[in-house]
Amino acid sequence: MSNITPTTEKSMLTITDLHASVEEKNILKGLNLDVKPGEVHAIMGPNGAGKSTTGYVLSGRDGYTVEKGSAVLDGVEILEMEAEERARAGLFLAFQYPVEIPGVSNLEFLKASVDAQREARGEVAYTSAEFLKLAKEACKQVDLPLAFLKRGVNEGFSGGEKKRNELMQMILLKPKLCILDETDSGLDIDAMQVVANGVNSQRSPDRSFIIVTHYQRLLDYIKPDFVHVLSDGKIVKSGDASLAKELEAEGYAWIHNEPKDELEGDLL
């Protein structure tokens, strides 16, 4: 269950009363979440609820303002840190809409990220040969042809290829906390299996996952420990895997706290 009061047991991520806004619009309105090492949490919820925003706020995207609250990753408060510092602290976000970077090869990009993170941890950089080997393995693991390592980052990739590319990065970066934002959207059945296998292979007692999805199908492949419903910037319901099935059947209509019509004021 979403633990409002942290237990004494060590947490991977603790979000407490998080309020955040973008362009002066409040999106997160008191979010609480506690994720223990090794756990998989699924977050579901209607469009526009603030799921992606949660990922952006945690990972420090410009333009998102934290009004209130805290987020502690593996014992460290991260909300004051720069985006790249949070990444180096072990936070990984797989984007809902991965951006293209023309001309920058995937391989070059991957090596730059892995180098940066290893350097931050005081580890020596991989040689090109070592890295190439790792990258090839990761590429195979997500079922992308090796040619994708040479292509520009997401440049001209299909929707599904972009998602697999995100997963490949996750596999190479070995983060502590992975936030996957609709990594299953737009995937065919086989690709979904690939994504699930990718995630499952990375599950370990010291790595946690937050999986944002609209479909319970993915959760058949990746068994979540908890399922939460995010609506209007808050978690409104938490449960175990069966909650996802319930939602699939009934939708979100039961969430009655419909947001007030903001235009109403303008009309009066």
Partner 1 sequence: MTEQIDKALEREYEAGFVSDIESETFEPGLNEDIIRRISAMKNEPEWMLEWRLKAFRVWLEMEEPDWAHIKYSKIDFQSISYYSAPKSMKDKPKSLDEVDPELIRTYEKLGIPLIEQQMLAGIAVDAVFDSVSVVTTFREKLEEAGVIFCPISEAVHRFPDLVKKYLGTVVPTKDNYFAALNCAVFTDGSFVYIPKGTRCPMELSTYFRINEQNTGQFERTLIVADEGSHVSYLEGCTAPQRDENQLHAAVVELVAMDNAEIKYSTVQNWYPGDENGKGGIYNFVTKRGICHESAKISWTQVETGSAVTWKYPSCILKGDNSVGEFYSVALTRSAQQADTGTKMIHIGKNTKSTIISKGISAGRSNNSYRGLVRMNPGAQGARNFTQCDSLLIGDQCGAHTFPYVESRNPSAIVEHEATTSKVSDEQMFLCRQRGIEPEKAVSMIVNGFCKEVFKELPMEFAVEAGKLLEISLEGSVG
Ligand X SMILES: Nc1ncnc2c1ncn2[C@@H]1O[C@H](COP(=O)(O)OP(=O)(O)OP(=O)(O)O)[C@@H](O)[C@H]1O
Which residues of this chain interact with partner 1, rule CB under 8 A?
A: 59-63, 82-84, 86-88, 92-93, 95, 98-99, 101-105, 108-109, 112-113, 116-117, 120, 152-153, 169, 173
Closest approach of partner 1 to the CB of residue 58, in Å? 10
Could you tell me which stretch among 22-30, 116-124, 145-153, 254-262 binds ligand X (CB under 6 A)? Answer: 22-30
Give me the residue label for tokens 């951006």: 99
Query: Does residue number 36 form part of the binding site for ligand X (CB under 6 A)?
Result: no
| Contact yes or no for 157/113 (Cβ under 8 A) | no
| Contact partner, 23, from partner 1, Mg ion, ligand X, none, Cβ < 5-8 Å per class | ligand X
Could you tell me which stretch among 44-52, 104-112, 147-155, 243-251 binds ligand X (CB under 6 A)? Answer: 44-52
Query: Does residue number 32 form part of the binding site for ligand X (CB under 6 A)?
Result: no
Helix (H) or strand (E) holding 180: strand 177-181
| Contact yes or no for 137/110 (Cβ under 8 A) | no
Q: Distance between CA atoms of 91 and 38, rounded to whole angstroms?
A: 14
| Contact partner, 27, from partner 1, Mg ion, ligand X, none, Cβ < 5-8 Å per class | ligand X
Q: Distance between CA atoms of 181 and 160, rounded to whole angstroms?
A: 13
Question: What tokens appear for 226 in the block?
Answer: 């908890």
| Contact partner, 93, from partner 1, ligand X, Mg ion, none, Cβ < 5-8 Å per class | partner 1
Residue count of the chain = 268
Q: Of 20 and 78, which CB lies nearer to ligand X in the complex structure?
A: 20
Quote the crossing angle between the two packed helices 159-173 and 106-120, to the nearest 10°.
30
